[in-house]
Structure 1
């Protein structure tokens, strides 16, 4: 077997195994999305973290996102309710909702962002995808 054939065979094997890995992650993600029936907001469940994921947020974020009562809370009250954000920058708090990826590579990420005014009241709540 010449070196060019060996290289091509190796590339084809790598592509095959990479595609299998992507298929597995996609099917797992699809299965999870099918099971995403909304549940009432629960602060303890919202804060629950398993490795780098939050297993319940995707099923309850809408209740926070569209809540008029959350918009009346102060920043400290929001932090007490939702816990420490995954990222905080320029009066914006980012809460990871869902992430799909291959290993450490992120392909798609959904986060809920809460922007606070200078007086620590909620200015807006939006989804970032």
Structure 2
């Protein structure tokens, strides 16, 4: 029962994180809202949030330090580090690589793979 409740809460947090990322995107200009790298990065971070929140017991949303590289043929690789806090306030960081396929016609990104290193406890 506790495991089910934890999973439900984790999924809800992932959805809230995704919605908040979408809401914070802003629309300062038409060109920035259609920037492929921005769309790819957002898709990768939403997927990472879902992976992290369903795999680990953490407090709050993860934070990211992401880099986007185009690998060709509308395929991107998003790499970086995710930092999370557990219920005791300890901080953990793990590296990740996310592959994303971008469709310029629909301006949508699809995550094709996620490689998330098990977060390691940060030294105080």
What TM bracket, shorter-length normalisation? under 0.3
| Alignment TM-score, normalising by the size of structure 1 | 0.26
| Alignment TM-score, normalising by the size of structure 2 | 0.27
Structure having the larger proportion of residues in helix: 1
Structure having the larger proportion of residues in strand: 2
